[in-house]
């Protein structure tokens, strides 16, 4: 480093402490980057890469972005998962001895952004942390810096549950200890695609006490401490808006693993990764950003508590029955801004005059909202209104202090209302009326001295002056005027009064802006005291927004209120898939019943591709989730149990990032369901076994069906193309066959999308290929091959029948021969039975078991 210039040495020292970040190094009006940062930033931001002499043997790579437009460049980098360290000058260049002192004043990371242009207003921006306490025990903590929300959960069932829980929230960055196993770190980056950061400090410091004191488990406190210290070290500013940590009691909510959330497309679609086409897209009738975020939280955590669900339903029903009040609520909410994030900006110190004006305008609407809610006929809605504090004192403070149209910046003035502060009013009056006062003074002096040519002028050297021609000097009174400058034909004077006014006029604007800035900072500190009340108000308003949203969509789409039962029965009459129904033309959707009484735990669904089996399965899951978040559901009536977990394996969603095949993903997801489901769970398995050979797949599918039926007992929908499996209805008492109806018409298949009892009688595979417009010669050839295979299978069956008939006519054979045959058969059976009894099935892998079974079958065939 000795060869570099002092400025580059300073850069390298600061960069050494921020190796995982782009260092935005302030030089005048630019943020500059050097060395590898410059090369990488020029590529990522598509800006020009230059170089400069830094005192070394070679020129240094360099690129930069203007200070005033840096926000967009920072946003670009953060959205790509990078961190940006902002390095500012922290001393006046005029007072600097040598290189101006610089320090990193903020580290902007994907999980800690606060700037509005980097945040999705309808999405929380979570930073998470993981702390491991033993092999299977982890503490997860969450923070949304923009809203101040904090929460924590304990997971004691292993790493896979940790990943599923993290997948359940929009997380951009995860803070971990450096000793978290490398395999886990790799898993987080590959499966969740998040930025990893490191923090080791888990000390419960004094500033943390009020946030964690109510937590009884010390592990939760330590876990949150890791997250808090990371935030504190990166932001280096006040965190007054952080709320006490909320403990997430996971067993109070339905468990939705990452596979189910993805397969059911709850918040985003599998293909496009966007909101449109998801359940959230259908249900989101909220009108505030706070409400949209609240809805997403509810959708991620459906309730198990009957009482809370009933309370939600009463409020939604009240809004449905009172259309006028609901519309009035919607209109009022449209004028309420994002109170949660406004409170966060106040605490963070980056709030401006327009933000506070939005806060004032929002608070002005709260009394109107309260009067609408109190006028409703529903008691639960009235009770909501009675608990809301409109924070009248804060509204009055902002009304008295803020101008109606403040500027974006807080250092230009124009924020504080006239009449709020006497000294500020004087400055403004002096600045505004200074010229008029000068003109009036000139007239007064002319009249007092009787010098008609007297004038008052101004220059930058002497300021304001009174100019009198030399011919009129004798008219000036003694002692009042002080000579300032002599000209050829005139003298220039000043008076104490003029000098005093000059000082006021010339400095009024500057003093006005400075005073206004100080008053704004004082106002911001006063608003800070109301942050807890604002956050509570935001929480209440966001709930009201979700309730009216549920009522709105329920009325629009003719949803009904479900009921819950405790006998584990499902009775849905004319159920509909909420998303498919919304995108189809009116009247085109075919509704279907789902009936599973106490003695039916499994429905085996057969039918051709494209007939609607997967839609039917997803439909049940989505209706269940909607019911357990408090929304009405798409059907004519619904009686449901409260499900504790939902597991799905629907569609070929290959985990290509992790390098796993479709079949492996299928088996992993099936195993996850089988090992975690209870009798109170819902399992949806679509086409299990299709990723391998026919007999392998069929054997696995049957084994899974039997295991779920006998060992798990969960309500299960299992769709399959293996028609042979429909025979299981005869041996499994709690399994029933259903199929999707399809008919042939003029050589073409017509899908009726209707669910009926019994098994499907045909697969219609070639008809589906015809619908997909495969070449005609290919279709014709497939038809011929199918016919040949069917004829061959028919002959084989006939041969089996003849062989059976021949064996049945064995009474024509002599009795000794028959006895010898029976004796031989008996010995073979005993031998095979002995071999079968000696097999240690519980110690064998599925493949070893299959091989052993094959060998026994081969022996049986040979000896038979």
Q: How far apart are CA 391 and CA 529, in angstroms?
A: 12
How far, in Å, CA of 65 to CA of 76, rounded?
Answer: 12
Angle between the 289-300 and 339-348 helix axes, to the nearest 10 degrees? Answer: 100
Phi, psi of 457 (to 5 degrees): -125, -175
Long-range contacts of 476-479 (CB under 8 A, 24+ apart): 476/449, 476/451, 477/448, 477/449
Q: Is the torsion defined by CA of 178, 181, 186, 187 positive or negative?
A: negative
Pairing between β-strand 246-247 and β-strand 455-459 as defined by DSSP bridges: unpaired
Would you call 446 exposed, middle or buried from its count of C-beta atoms within 10 A (0-12, 13-18, 19+)?
middle
For residue 576, the tally of other CB atoms under 10 A from its CB is: 25
Q: Is 406 annotated as a binding residue?
A: no
SS3 818: helix
**Cα dihedral angle (171, 176, 178, 184), rounded to 10 degrees?**
-60
Contacts of 853 (CB under 8 A, 6+ apart): none
614 is in an annotated binding site: yes
| Integer Cα distance of 198 and 731 in angstroms | 56
Rounded-to-integer distance, Cα 863 and Cα 374, Å? 86
Cβ atoms 178, 241 nearer than 8 A: no
Residue 760: closest CA among 606, 602, 603, 594 = 606
Q: Are strands 645-649 and 255-256 parallel, antiparallel or unpaired?
A: parallel
Cβ-proximal residues to 167 (8 Å cutoff; 6+ apart), any chain:
191, 192, 257, 258, 261, 262
For residue 804, CA distances in Å to 795, 798, 823 come to: 14, 10, 19
**747 annotated ligand binder:** no
Q: Is 613 annotated as a binding residue?
A: yes
Give the SS3 label for residue 51.
Answer: strand
Torsion angles phi and psi, residue 628, rounded to 5: -90, 5
Pairing verdict, β 126-132 and 138-144? antiparallel
Short-list 774, 749, 748, 790, CA closest to 608: 749
Instruction: Say whether 111 counts as a known binding-site residue.
Output: no
Nearest to 219 by CA among 239, 205, 204, 206: 204
Which pair of tokens denotes residue 359?
Answer: 């806060």
Distance (Å, whole) CA 4 – CA 666: 58
Q: For the packed helices 422-449 and 496-528, what is the interaxial angle rounded to 10 degrees? A: 170
Q: Who contacts 523 (Cβ-Cβ below 8 Å, separation ≥6)?
A: 356, 397, 401, 416
Which candidate, 501, 503, 468, places its Cα nearest to that of 485? 468
The encoded tokens of residue 294 equal 């609240």
Nearest to 148 by CA among 235, 73, 84: 235
Q: H or E element: which one contains 66?
A: strand 60-66
Asked whether residue 612 is marked as a ligand-binding residue, the answer is: yes
Binding residues for ATP: 607-614
> Which amino acids are annotated as binding site, given as ranges?
607-614
């Amino acid at each position: 480093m000795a060869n570099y210039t002092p400025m580059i040495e300073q850069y390298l020292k600061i960069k050494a402490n921020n190796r995982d970040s782009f260092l935005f190094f302030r030089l005048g009006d630019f943020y500059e980057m050097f060395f590898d940062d410059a090369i990488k930033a020029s590529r990522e931001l598509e800006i020009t890469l230059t170089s400069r002499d830094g005192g070394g043997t070679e020129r240094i790579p360099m690129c930069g972005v203007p200070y005033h437009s840096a926000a967009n460049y920072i946003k670009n980098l953060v959205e790509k998962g990078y961190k940006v360290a902002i390095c500012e000058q922290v001393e006046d260049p005029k007072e600097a001895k040598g290189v101006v002192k610089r320090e990193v004043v903020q580290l902007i990371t994907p999980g800690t952004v606060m700037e509005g242009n980097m945040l999705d207003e309808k999405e929380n921006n979570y930073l998470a942390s993981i702390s491991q306490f033993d092999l299977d025990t982890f503490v997860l903590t969450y923070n949304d810096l923009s809203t101040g929300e904090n929460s924590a959960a304990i997971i004691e069932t292993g790493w896979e549950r940790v990943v599923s829980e993290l997948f359940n929230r929009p997380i951009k960055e995860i803070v971990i200890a450096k000793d978290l196993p490398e395999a886990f770190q790799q898993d987080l980056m590959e499966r969740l695609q998040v930025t990893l950061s490191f923090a080791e400090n888990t000390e419960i410091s004094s500033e943390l006490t009020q946030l964690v004191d109510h937590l009884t488990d010390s592990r939760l406190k330590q876990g949150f401490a890791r997250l808090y210290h990371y935030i504190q070290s990166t932001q280096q500013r006040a965190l007054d808006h952080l709320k006490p940590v909320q403990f997430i009691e996971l067993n109070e909510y339905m468990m939705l693993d990452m596979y189910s959330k993805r397969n059911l497309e709850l918040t985003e679609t599998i293909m496009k990764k966007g909101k449109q086409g998801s359940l959230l897209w259908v249900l989101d009738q909220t009108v505030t950003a706070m409400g949209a975020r609240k809805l997403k939280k509810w959708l991620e955590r459906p309730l198990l508590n009957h009482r809370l669900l009933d309370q939600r339903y009463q409020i939604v029903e009240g809004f449905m029955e009172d259309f006028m009040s609901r519309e009035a609520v919607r209109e009022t909410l449209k004028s309420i801004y994002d109170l949660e994030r406004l409170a966060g900006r106040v605490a963070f110190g980056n709030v401006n005059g327009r933000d506070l004006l939005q806060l004032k305008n929002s608070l002005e609407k709260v009394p109107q909202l309260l009067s609408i809610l109190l006028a409703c006929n529903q008691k639960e809605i009235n009770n909501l209104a009675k608990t809301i504090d409109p924070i009248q004192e804060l509204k009055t403070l902002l009304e008295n202090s803020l101008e109606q149209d403040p500027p974006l910046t807080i250092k230009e003035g124009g924020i504080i209302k006239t009449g709020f502060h006497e000294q500020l009013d004087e400055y403004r009056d002096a600045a505004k009326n200074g010229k008029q006062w000068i003109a009036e003074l000139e007239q007064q002096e002319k009249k007092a001295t009787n010098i008609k040519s007297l004038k008052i002028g101004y220059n930058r050297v002497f300021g304001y002056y009174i100019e009198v021609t030399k011919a009129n000097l004798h008219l000036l009174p003694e002692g009042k005027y002080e000579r300032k400058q002599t000209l050829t034909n005139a003298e220039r004077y000043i008076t104490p009064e003029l000098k005093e006014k000059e000082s006021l006029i010339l400095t009024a604007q500057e003093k006005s802006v400075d005073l206004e800035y100080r008053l704004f900072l004082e106002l911001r500190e006063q608003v800070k005291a109301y942050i807890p009340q604002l956050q509570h108000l935001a929480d209440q308003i966001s709930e009201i927004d979700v309730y009216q949203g549920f009522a709105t969509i329920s009325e629009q789409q003719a949803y009904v209120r479900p009921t819950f039962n405790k006998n584990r029965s499902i009775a849905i009459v004319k159920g509909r898939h909420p998303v498919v129904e919304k995108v189809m033309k009116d009247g085109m959707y075919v509704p279907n019943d789902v009936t599973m009484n106490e003695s039916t735990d499994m429905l085996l669904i057969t039918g051709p591709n494209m007939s609607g089996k997967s839609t039917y399965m997803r439909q049940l899951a989505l209706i269940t989730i909607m019911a357990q978040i408090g929304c009405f559901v798409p059907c004519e009536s619904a009686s449901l149990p409260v499900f504790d977990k939902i597991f799905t394996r629907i569609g070929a969603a290959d985990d290509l990032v992790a390098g796993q095949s479709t079949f492996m993903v299928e088996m992993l997801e099936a195993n996850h369901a089988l090992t975690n489901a209870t009798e109170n769970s819902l399992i949806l398995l679509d086409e299990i076994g299709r990723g391998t050979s026919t007999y392998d797949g069929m054997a696995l599918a049957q084994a899974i069906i039997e295991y779920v039926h006998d060992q798990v007992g969960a309500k299960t929908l299992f769709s399959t193309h293996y028609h042979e499996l429909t025979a299981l209805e005869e041996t499994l008492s709690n399994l029933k066959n259903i199929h999707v109806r399809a008919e042939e018409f003029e050589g073409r298949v017509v899908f009726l999308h209707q669910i009926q009892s019994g098994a499907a009688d045909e697969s219609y595979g070639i008809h589906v290929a015809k619908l997909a417009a495969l070449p005609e010669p290919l279709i014709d050839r497939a038809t011929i091959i199918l016919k040949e295979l069917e004829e061959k299978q028919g002959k084989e069956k006939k041969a089996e029948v003849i062989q059976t008939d021949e064996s049945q006519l064995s009474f024509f054979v002599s009795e000794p021969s028959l006895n010898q045959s029976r004796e031989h058969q008996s010995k073979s059976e005993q031998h095979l039975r002995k071999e079968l009894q000696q097999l240690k099935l519980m110690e064998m892998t599925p493949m070893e078991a299959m091989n052993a079974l094959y060998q026994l079958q081969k022996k049986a065939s040979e000896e038979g």
